[in-house]
Amino acid sequence: MSAPSIREALAGDLEAIIHLHEEDELGSHGDVWSAETQPAYEAAFEAIQRSPDNRLFVAVDGDEIVGTFQLTFIPNLTGRGTTRVKVESVKVRAVRRSGGIGAQMIAFAEDFARTHGAAAMELTSNKSRKDAHRFYERLGFARSHEGFKKKL
Amino acid sequence: MSAPSIREALAGDLEAIIHLHEEDELGSHGDVWSAETQPAYEAAFEAIQRSPDNRLFVAVDGDEIVGTFQLTFIPNLTGRGTTRVKVESVKVRAVRRSGGIGAQMIAFAEDFARTHGAAAMELTSNKSRKDAHRFYERLGFARSHEGFKKKL
């Protein structure tokens, strides 16, 4: 149970990353790794890799992927042209939760965002994830906005 | 008071776009067009133009810019690799509000997002903007998430 290291995700990490999505307690997104779903995940992974504005990370402990998150850099006019970073798809292996990995990932994300020119960070979290809300508030995030979603 | 047309923003629209930001009733972002701030806005505008994932739009009535919004395409693994679009910096000229321009812009945004491969749309809105929340719910958005922000 050492502190994991954080690095950018490689194609070989994809199945392990999707297994972290499978563990998600809400499970409303239907994420599962199978022969049927694999091509769509591979295409999305390649789209993330291709995008200059997106970075996908994993937290690794030994040989095991124990966490993941994605950063999206968004150039924007608001706030006199402040680049902001959106944190997306933050997942920690179920058996490793409450062990500091999430806080380590967010601290890494903030440092990475700042180093790469961002001055603000944002994220949304489903209203049912009360523990996550307390977690982000503890890390200095303000719960200032309502988050809206629509399927197209 | 005809229906405006919607098109991608050009460099010559930038001052008018920032004037829409200046009218924002919250005003917490300190947005103002001046000799001092102009270079930062120009740099941000160029960053948006350069990014393959970002598109900045204006609603134009005759010679007048009456609205603006930005779309950010986000490749993502969640939901079996669903590309989502974040709508950002939605502004309508104060004297033209409640005239259907906002709804026209969001309908345009949904169509543009769908046509360009996105299957979900999302946005956040400051908790104090009660009218905006009703507006988005009327347009079929679910207020399902808490939105967190942090300055870096």
For the stretch B4-57, pLDDT in tens is 999 999 999 999 999 999 987 665 678 899 999 999 999 999 999 999 999 999
B1 versus A33: which is more confidently predicted?
A33
A5 touches chain B (CB under 8 A): no
Q: Check CB contact under 8 Å for A152 and B45.
A: no
The reported pLDDT for the residue numbered A29 is 75
Report yes or no on A148 lying in a domain: no
> Distance between CA A114 and CA B50 in Å, rounded?
20
Mean pLDDT score, B76-82: 93
Total of domains in chain B? 1
The reported pLDDT for the residue numbered B26 is 67
pLDDT band at A26 (very low <50, low <70, confident <90, very high): low
The reported pLDDT for the residue numbered B86 is 98
Report yes or no on B64 lying in a domain: yes
**How distant is the Cα of A61 from the closest Cα of chain B, in angstroms?**
22
The reported pLDDT for the residue numbered A30 is 83
DSSP string, B82-143: --EEEEEEEEE-GGGTTSSHHHHHHHHHHHHHHHTT--EEEEEEETT-HHHHHHHHHTT-EE
Report yes or no on B146 lying in a domain: no
User: Would you say residue B1 has pLDDT above 60?
Assistant: no
> Distance between CA B22 and CA B28 in Å, rounded?
10
Q: Which residues of B touch A119 (CB under 8 A)?
A: 151-152
Give, as one character, the DSSP assignment of residue A2: P
Provide the whole-model pTM. 0.95
User: Would you say residue B94 has pLDDT above 80?
Assistant: yes
* Average of per-residue pLDDT values in chain B: 94
**How distant is the Cα of A4 from the closest Cα of chain B, in angstroms?**
22
**CB nearest to A75's CB, from B29, B54, B86:** B54
The reported pLDDT for the residue numbered B29 is 75
User: Would you say residue A4 has pLDDT above 60?
Assistant: yes
pLDDT band at B3 (very low <50, low <70, confident <90, very high): confident
**CB nearest to A125's CB, from B77, B88, B148:** B148
Picking from A70-79, A113-122, B22-31, B33-42, which range would have the lowest pLDDT averaged per residue?
A: B22-31
Picking from A7-11, A56-60, B28-32, which range would have the lowest pLDDT averaged per residue?
A: B28-32
Report yes or no on B60 lying in a domain: yes
The reported pLDDT for the residue numbered A98 is 87
Q: In what order do the strands lie in the sheet with A64-74?
A: A5-8, A54-61, A64-74, A84-92, A120-126, B142-151, A142-151, B120-126, B84-92, B64-74, B54-61, B5-8
A19 touches chain B (CB under 8 A): no
Report yes or no on A27 lying in a domain: yes
Report yes or no on B149 lying in a domain: no
Report yes or no on B103 lying in a domain: yes
Q: What is the CATH classification number for the domain harbouring A56?
A: 3.40.630.30
**CB nearest to B148's CB, from A74, A127, A142:** A142
The ipTM estimated for the assembled molecules is 0.95
Instruction: Domain of residue A13: give its range.
Output: 5-138
| Long-range contacts from A47-56, C-beta under 8 angstroms, 24+ separation | A47/B75, A47/B83, A48/B75, A48/B76, A48/B77, A50/B75, A51/B52, A51/B53, A51/B75, A52/B51, A52/B52, A53/B51, A53/B53, A53/B54, A54/B53, A54/B74, A54/B75, A55/A8, A55/A112, A56/A8, A56/A9, A56/A17, A56/B77
Report yes or no on A114 lying in a domain: yes
The reported pLDDT for the residue numbered B17 is 97
The reported pLDDT for the residue numbered A28 is 60
A107 touches chain B (CB under 8 A): no
Q: Check CB contact under 8 Å for B149 and A142.
A: yes
